[in-house]
Structure formats: C-alpha cells, structure tokens
C-alpha cells in the first residue's frame, strides 16, 4: 500500500524510513521554508513527488468540509489529503485535523511521532452571538486561528467548534 507522508515525517524521520513515500510538490516549498538543510537532504531521499490533480483537490475540499476540518487546513494540508484520497493510500501525519478528515472518509492513518487521534470528530460553524450552528461550507474562510465568517442571522463571528450531539 502507498504511504503519503506529511511534512512532519520529512522533518523528523530518518532517511531510510522515508523511502518509497509519496509527497506533494507543495511540501518541497514548505520544507525549504522550515529547514533549508533538511530540504537539501530530502532531495536525496527515495520519495515520489507529485501534484494532486484538480478532481482530487476538489474531493479533498469536499471531505474536509463534510468533517468540518476545512477552515483549519492549509493549502499544503489539502494537497496531502488529496494525494491520500486519490491514491487510497495510508496517511502518515501528526496533524489531527488531517487525521480527522481522512479517517472520516474511511482512510487509514498513523502518526509520525505522536499517537493518532482516538476518534473521528465532526465540526460545525457556531455563531458567537446567537449560538446558531451551520455546516462548514466548501468555500469557508481558511485560517488556523481567525474567525471563519459571520452569522447570516445576527452578524456575529463564526467559530469552528466540535459539533454537538
């Protein structure tokens, strides 16, 4: 079975453990920004680098939207998720949002240095004013910490929260 490796594996695993892994082209740029020395070393690793085709990226956005993880995933995260989904591969990541999205689609995950999440969680957008809950749309604003929009009912900020019930 194919293994799609998140950037955490590229940063922390020994070279022989990376062999045969599949990575997104966007991870090269991310790795170079995080550690230029490690980036140069990784170029010598036996990895398969590829871009995810547009249909795979659309599927990744759909899956992440359904689980509610989309607002907190970066573009690189979406590339990694798209590869894992498109190749039906085993995903190796310490990112709990990536784990959650992929597991909600029936994928298998393992951690790089940390244990995998214990359960799949569903997320929704919750209004900080009227407390209304909304599903996470595919066009949700994406940010690690910021509000992801405003409530259609009262105009207050929307936050990503664990879905009730």
pLDDT (tens, 9 = 90+) of the chain, 165 residues, equals: 899 999 999 999 999 999 999 999 999 999 999 999 999 999 888 899 999 999 999 999 999 998 989 988 999 999 999 999 999 999 999 999 999 999 999 999 999 887 777 778 888 889 999 999 988 877 777 766 677 888 999 999 998 888 765
As given in the structure block, the two tokens for residue 17 are 């453990």
For the chain, residues classed under CATH 3.40.50.1010 are 3-110
Q: What is the model's pTM?
A: 0.82
| Secondary structure E strands in the chain | 3-5, 22-24, 48-50, 90-92, 109-110, 123-127, 133-134, 158-162
As given in the structure block, the two tokens for residue 51 are 């871009």
Largest CA distance in the chain: 55
Q: Is 28 within 8 Å of 49 (Cβ atoms)? A: yes
Cβ-based neighbours of 73, under 8 Å, separated by 6 or more: 64, 81, 97, 98, 101, 142
Tell me what pLDDT residue 164 has: 61
As given in the structure block, the two tokens for residue 7 are 């950037």
Report which of 51, 49, 41 is spatially closest to residue 16, judged by C-alpha positions: 41
Strands 133-134 and 123-127, bridge-based pairing: antiparallel
Segment holding 99, helix H or strand E: helix 96-104
Distance of alpha carbon 37 from alpha carbon 115, whole angstroms:
27
Task: Answer positive or negative: Cα dihedral of 86, 89, 92, 96.
Answer: positive
First-to-final CA distance of the chain? 35
Q: Is 159 within 8 Å of 150 (Cβ atoms)? A: no
Best CATH choice for the domain 3-110 from the list 3.40.190.10, 3.40.630.10, 3.40.50.1010, 3.50.50.60: 3.40.50.1010
Tell me what pLDDT residue 140 has: 72
């Amino acid at each position: 079975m194919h293994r799609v490796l998140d950037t955490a594996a590229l940063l922390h695993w020994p070279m022989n453990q990376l062999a045969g892994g599949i990575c997104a082209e966007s991870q090269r740029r991310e790795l170079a920004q995080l550690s230029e020395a490690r980036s140069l070393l990784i170029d010598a690793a036996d990895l398969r680098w590829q871009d995810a085709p547009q249909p795979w990226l659309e599927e990744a956005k759909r899956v992440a939207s359904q689980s509610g993880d989309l607002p907190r995933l970066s573009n690189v995260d979406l590339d990694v998720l798209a590869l894992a989904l498109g190749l039906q591969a085993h995903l190796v990541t310490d990112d709990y949002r990536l784990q959650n999205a992929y597991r909600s689609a029936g994928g298998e995950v393992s951690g790089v240095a940390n244990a995998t999440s214990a359960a799949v969680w569903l997320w929704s957008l919750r209004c900080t004013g009227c407390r209304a809950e909304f599903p996470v749309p595919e066009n949700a604003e994406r940010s690690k910490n910021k509000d992801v929009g405003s409530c259609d009912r009262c105009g207050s900020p929307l936050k990503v929260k664990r879905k009730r019930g």
